[in-house]
Amino acid sequence: MTQDLTILGIESSCDDTAAAVVRTRDGDTRVLSNITLAQFDRHAAYGGVVPEIAARAHVERMDGVIAQAMAEAGARFEDIDAIAATAGPGLIGGVIVGLTAAKALALAHDKRLVPVNHLEAHALSVRLTEAVEFPYLLLLISGGHTQLIEVAGVGRYRRLGTTIDDAAGEAFDKGAKLLGLGQPGGPMIERAAAGGQPYRYVFPKPLAGRTGCDFSLSGMKTALRMTAEALPNPTGQDIADLAASFQAALAAHLASRTANAIDLFEATPGPSVLVVAGGVAANCAIKEKLKTLTAARGWRLVYPPPKYCTDNGAMIAWAGIERLRAGLAPAPEEALAFAPRARWPLAEPPEGRAHGGGKKGPKA
């Protein structure tokens, strides 16, 4: 279905206050605006995101971010067909702020509301800029989630694996804190690792040799702490080598578990495409490891542009467009009654298994 739509998207699931306007017309999609305000300065003293501080910042900033997104897009609410907003999962205070703002705007301007699963927005974000057909294999790696998912279509997901403890972004955040590198942890680890030797320190290989697609990162994080504590007076080079070795080990673990998922995915007919999304997808070491894996298996590797990997309003607007086109958006009265959710699995695990990996806070 090729339906012309202009959607306002609102995102507030963690510590980014974001809004965007996305338009589809005559088969062409344009991001007319994409505004994001981060909160690094507000959480720096705590070494991670503090949920109460994040929620208050969303309250202070939400109206201004939405107004800026509308102004930059040159759009009035008469031009908007619907409003999409993150309804979960995430830090519940932030989710409440964004969803409540969206409900108020939908009522005030008589617009349709589309509650969006934040994970689905990441899962579909690649289709905003790339011609990727269903089905595809998704590696979702972010601050709160590390999952392998079969994306069969809009609203059709099968979870192949998830983390049984820490998410990749959480491991980077805590690793950066241990090394005194500051936040956000992923970029800080990557920056330090650029001057380090990735094989100086040996880290454990979680779940090595085991079947399945689940991840485990807490042991690697503990090994980093113990190795760092064993250095009486670590030099700058020591820190760089620790960061590089930790990053290399984490990338190798992600690739090894993804290889298992590729084996499962290849058992069913369909395109051989691996999509990597989420904020951690911007890490170059992880990209290189996955490039090597997919090249060896004859698969296509696709990433959304970096600005759509991290939390942003454009991916929420796009998810709203995808759901409206697929006829999966709730009726207006159901959407306005939709309750924000701290936990909202995108897909249930096979055989009823339950694991963690939802967004948590604080990440200190």
pLDDT along the chain (364 residues), means of 10: 86 95 94 92 77 92 98 98 97 97 98 97 96 95 92 95 94 93 91 96 92 95 95 95 98 97 83 93 95 96 93 97 96 96 80 41 31
pLDDT of amino acid 143 = 83
Fold of 134-303: Nucleotidyltransferase; domain 5 (3.30.420)
For the CA atoms of the chain, what is the radius of gyration?
20
Beta pairing class for 82-88 and 5-11 = parallel
CB-facing half-sphere around the CA of 320: CA atoms within 13 A: 34
CB-facing half-sphere around the CA of 285: CA atoms within 13 A: 24
pLDDT of amino acid 348 = 59
Please give the Cα distance from 338 to 324 (Å, whole number).
Answer: 16
- Which residues does 2 contact at the CB level (< 8 Å), separation at least 6? 24, 27, 325
Please give the Cα distance from 166 to 219 (Å, whole number).
Answer: 9
- Which residues does 183 contact at the CB level (< 8 Å), separation at least 6? 40, 43, 44, 47, 48, 173, 176, 177
Architecture of 5-127+308-336 per CATH? Answer: 2-Layer Sandwich (3.30)
Where are the chain's structural domains? 5-127+308-336, 134-303
pLDDT of amino acid 349 = 53
Considering the entire predicted model, what is its pTM?
0.91
Q: Do domains 5-127+308-336 and 134-303 have the same CATH topology?
A: yes
Please give the Cα distance from 300 to 291 (Å, whole number).
Answer: 9
- Which residues does 131 contact at the CB level (< 8 Å), separation at least 6? none
Q: How far apart are the first and last CA of the chain?
A: 45
